[in-house]
A and B are shown apart, each in its own frame.
Chain A
Amino acid sequence: MDSALIPEGVKRCSFRSFSLWLLVIFGVIGWGVLGGFMVLWKGLNVTGLNDSFGFGLYITADLAVIALGAGAFFTGFLTYVIGKKELKDIINLAVVVGFICYTGAQLVLLLEIGQPIRGWFSFWHPNVHSMLTEVIFCITAYTIVLTIEYLPLILENKQLDKVPELHYFSHNLHEIMVVFAATGTFLSFFHQGSLGGLYGVMFARPFAFREGFFIWPWTFFLFVASAIASGPALTILVCKMVEGVTRKKLVRREAILLLAKVTGYLLAFYMVVKILDTWWWATHTAPIMGASFREFFQAPYGLWLLVAEIGVCGIIPAIILLMPKAREDDVLLIVACVLNCTGIVINRFVFTVQNLALPVLPFEQVQIYVPTWQEWAPTVALLAYGALLLSLSYRYLPMFPRERELNPIE
């Protein structure tokens, strides 16, 4: 039925199976839209947020997907700026994943602010001293860059490519992609960093506050390092997932292994600086503010979170990814990537929720945050939105340039 739209020389499942799959996805998205509608209609009182937890699941999810979406800019940087040609196999996928993460995060962010209709005030009345202003400007600009990077792939659709103007436009965009890759790298560096700065500058919150370099707290640099260490891991995971579902080899092994190796080195570097930061924070920064490291970890947000983040989801995947034999094993590679991505989600959760759960006034108690379904639904729908865009891109666009070569049709 839709064969006219499917790229030449590749095999896709039947339209009936694809429609059933889309039905499932739309079901989940519908649930998310309902949750989001409730928030917009009734207000944020339907969430588990309160004056203690100004930030919750929405912000944790936003920060996590933006960090994991860093695979787009970093793979683009390696492919176009550094010149790692083998990564061209996977760059389209990285761009689609990045686009999903950034646009999805912005949709969720719309629900998070109490006055979504005033969202444009951030551009009209910007406070240049606020890290959030930097985040808003850079994320918006980078989403535009990602759209430009996604556009040539969309225009390569069999039918669109037949239009000569679109064909040449797409070709020319490809030629200047290095400019957008470099711009994306610049923008991403700043917004990943300013997301970290968002917490590090809270000098009245001893759990989050960090000293730093000039106006940038150490969390600024830690968030950049953690994003580039985990983003490519998500790209690898999504690639493996698509290969698993389609039962096809879509990317050459050397591309995956190169990305895994780079991720390993970056994660190891991030672990070293993260451990140094934790040590300095525990022994120097926090005590000056009258806080003690031990009191930072109170049930249910206990020390297990730190062990899980740094030990289980940091050091272990770094070791696996650094060992050539280990990363060449598909199972170990997937385990390492899952742990790596989980570690970053824990990190963003800790800075968002644990930070606000802890009492700052000496006579207060630790607070507990429980999200409601109106928070879970749009968050899960974000994943479904990702599945939708990936499914459509895979079916109708030449997302994997080596697919035909690796899967010849007899």
Chain B
Amino acid sequence: MSGNKSNGVRYGMVIDLDKCTGCMACSVACQQENNVSFREDETDKLRSITWLEVFYLDNGKPYPEHRRAYMPRPCLHCDSSHHPYPYPPCTFVCPVNATHRDEETGLVNHIPVRCIGCRYCISACSYHARYFNWWDPKWPEPMEKMLTPDVSTRMRGVVEKCTMCVHRLQLAKERAFMEGRRELHEGEYVPACVEACPARAMTFGNLLDPHSEVATLARGPHAFRLLERLATEPKVYYLSTQKWIRKLADNVM
């Protein structure tokens, strides 16, 4: 874990809620790409692991004013520089340095083999982006043969969360290296959820590159982030032209 020292790359995401249909393709792609374990009975949503949760939102009004929307929520990879704790809310509380923010990329990672499962990070995260492995992970035959080889499976008793498919970043970097490049092209590294979205509601890239699509969208008039008042500085932005959705994103007294 280290302080916020930006060096020109800050990966982030923009999700257009006006485009999102709530099809859950992002969530399924994430689950498969990252070897997220599941159980036969997944009805207890407080114990199931969903790195990319899709929240259902409605404006609470009766027909004909009734409106609904879906809000995909990966880990928001907070860029917090909160005084006097200039770290994401989850990383600096970990007693064993099992989670940290990579200052080269801004991605908040987790090391399951070092995690002792104290769940302090789960308690510190206001977005519920962290999940505990309540059971031993099991994949029914023949699903265990379909696991992604680049992602380690996690064991019972540890925390896990969205990594923005950091293994894909590693692969992209290796490819670039073989081609004699040091920099990645825009779109060369995208998480599985972004790739899977049929409505193209998700955009991913370097927020610090002013010419990137993600940075342009994040600067737009309809862009907002979840719970901005907490100063967690999420790197996941949402877009919506609907006022009631933007209002639901933060607690305002």
Which residues of A are at the interface with B, using a C-beta cutoff of 8 A?
A: 43-45, 49-52, 54-55, 112-115, 118-119, 121-122, 124-127, 129-133, 136, 198, 201-206, 214-215, 287-292, 355-356, 360-363, 367
Bound state CA distance, A215 and B86, in angstroms?
11
Q: Is B184 located at the chain interface by the 8 A CB criterion?
A: no
Give the docked Cα–Cα distance between A93 and B128 (Å): 44
Interface contact B157-A126, CB-CB below 8 Å: no
User: Which residues from A are CB-within-8-Å of B46?
Assistant: 50-52, 367
Contact of B57 among A115, A121, A214, A363 (CB under 8 A): A363
Q: Answer whether residue B115 sits at the interface, using C-beta atoms and an 8 A cutoff.
A: yes
Are A363 and B248 neighbours in the complex by a CB distance under 8 Å? yes
Asked whether A43 lies within 8 Å of B95 as measured between CB atoms, the reply is no
Min CB distance, B139 to chain A, in Å? Answer: 18
- Decide if B252 touches A290 in the complex (CB within 8 Å): yes
Chain B residues with CB under 8 A of A114: 115-119, 132-133, 156-159
The answer to whether B134 touches A115, judged by C-beta atoms less than 8 angstroms apart, is no
Closest to A52 in B: B46
CA distance A201 to B85 in the complex (A): 8
Q: Which of B34-74 contact A (CB under 8 A)?
A: 44, 46-47, 55, 57
Are the CB atoms of A43 and B123 closer together than 8 Å?
no
Contacts A50-B46, A121-B116; A45 near B126 (Cβ below 8 A): no
Residues of A within 8 A of B80 (CB): 203
Q: A114-B119, A125-B97, A363-B55 are in contact. List 7 more A-B contacts (CB 8 A).
A: A50-B134, A113-B157, A115-B155, A129-B87, A131-B93, A205-B124, A290-B250
B47 and A133 contact, CB distance less than 8 A: no
Min CB distance B150 to A, Å, is 24
Listed by A's residue number, 30 A-B pairs whose Cβ atoms lie within 8 Å are A43-B134, A43-B136, A44-B157, A51-B46, A113-B116, A113-B157, A114-B156, A114-B158, A114-B159, A115-B117, A119-B116, A121-B116, A124-B96, A125-B98, A125-B114, A127-B92, A127-B95, A130-B94, A132-B95, A198-B120, A203-B82, A203-B85, A203-B231, A290-B230, A290-B250, A355-B123, A356-B123, A361-B126, A361-B226, A362-B251
Q: Does B135 contact A (CB under 8 A)?
A: yes
Chain A residues lying within 8 Å of B125, measured Cβ to Cβ, are 204
Q: Is the beta-carbon distance between B93 and A202 smaller than 8 angstroms? A: yes
Classify the interface of chain A: helix, strand, loop or mixed. loop
CA of A132 to CA of B93, assembled, Å: 7
In-complex Cβ contact of A121 among B55, B96, B123, B132 (8 A): B96
Residue of A nearest to B57 (CB): A363
- Judge whether B96 and A361 touch: CB under 8 Å: no
In the A-B complex, the 6 residue pairs with the smallest Cβ-Cβ separation, listed nearest first, are A114-B117, A114-B157, A54-B119, A290-B251, A50-B46, A204-B126
Residue from the list B57, B123, B135 in contact with A45, Cβ < 8 A? B135
Assembly CA distance A119 to B116 (angstroms): 7
Is B127 close to A, CB under 8 A? Answer: yes
B145 part of interface (Cβ distance < 8 Å): no
Whole-angstrom distance from the CB of A239 to the nearest CB of chain B?
A: 35
CB distance from A141 to the nearest CB of B (A): 15
A132 to B116, CA, bound (A): 12
Q: Which of A43, A130, A367 contacts B157 (CB 8 A)?
A: A43
Whole-angstrom CA separation of A355 from B126 in the bound complex: 11
Inter-subunit contact B44/A50 (CB<8 Å): yes
Whether the Cβ atoms of A51 and B157 lie closer than 8 Å is no
Which residues from A are CB-within-8-Å of B248?
Answer: 362-363
How many of chain B's residues touch chain A, expressed as a range? 35 or more
With both beta carbons as reference points, the residue of chain B lying nearest to A114 in the complex is identified as B117
Closest to A203 in B: B82
**Which residues of chain B are within 8 angstroms of A136 by Cβ–Cβ distance?**
95
* Alpha-carbon separation in the docked complex, A127 to B88 (Å): 14
Residue of A nearest to B89 (CB): A204
Is the Cβ of B95 less than 8 Å from the Cβ of A122?
Answer: yes
A46 CB to closest chain B CB (Å) equals: 9
- For B47, give its contact among A50, A201, A355, A362 (CB under 8 Å): A50
Q: Using a CB–CB distance below 8 Å, which chain B residues touch chain A?
A: 1, 44, 46-47, 55, 57, 80, 82, 84-85, 87, 89, 92-98, 114-120, 122-128, 130-136, 155-159, 226-227, 229-232, 248-253
Closest to B229 in A: A290
Q: For residue B47, which residues in chain A have a CB less than 8 angstroms away from its CB? A: 45, 50-51
Question: For residue A125, which residues in chain B have a CB less than 8 angstroms away from its CB?
Answer: 96-98, 114
Of B135, B136, B157, B229, chain A has the most CB atoms within 10 Å of the CB of B157
Q: Are B230 and A203 in contact (CB under 8 A)?
A: yes
Contacts of A49 in B (CB 8 A): 119
Structural contact, A44 and B134, CB atoms closer than 8 A:
yes
Which of B120, B231, B249 has the most C-beta atoms of chain A within 10 angstroms of its own C-beta? B120
- Cα A308 to Cα B249 in complex, Å, equals 34
Decide: B128 and A51 in contact? CB cutoff 8 A.
yes
Give CA–CA (A54, B115) in the complex, Å. 14
CB of A85 to closest CB in B, whole Å:
41
B84: chain A residues at CB < 8 Å are 214-215
Asked if residues A362 and B126 are in contact (CB atoms below 8 Å), the reply is no
Report B-chain residues with C-beta under 8 Å of the C-beta of A205.
Answer: 89, 123-124, 126
The chain A residue sitting closest to B249, CB to CB, is: A362
A37 vs chain B, min Cβ distance (A)? 15
Q: Which B residue sits closest to A129, measured CB to CB? A: B92
Pick the most buried of B82, B93, B135, B226: most chain A CB atoms within 10 A of its CB. B93
Select B128's contact among A52, A113, A287, A289, beta carbons within 8 Å: A52
User: Complex Cα distance A362/B226, Å?
Assistant: 9
In the complex, which residues of chain B have a beta carbon less than 8 angstroms from the beta carbon of A356?
123
Question: Who on chain A is nearest to B49 by CB?
Answer: A51
B156 and chain A: residue at smallest CB distance: A43
CA distance A372 to B22 in the complex (A): 35
Decide: A206 near B230, CB < 8 A? Known: A54-B122, A129-B92, A363-B248: yes
- In the bound complex, what is the Cα–Cα distance between A181 and B80 (angstroms)? 41
Q: Considering only CB atoms, which chain A residue lies closest to B80 in the complex?
A: A203
Contact A132 B120 (CB under 8 A): yes
Complex: chain A residue closest to B78, CB-CB:
A204
Out of A112, A202, A287, name the residue touching B118 (CB < 8 Å).
A112
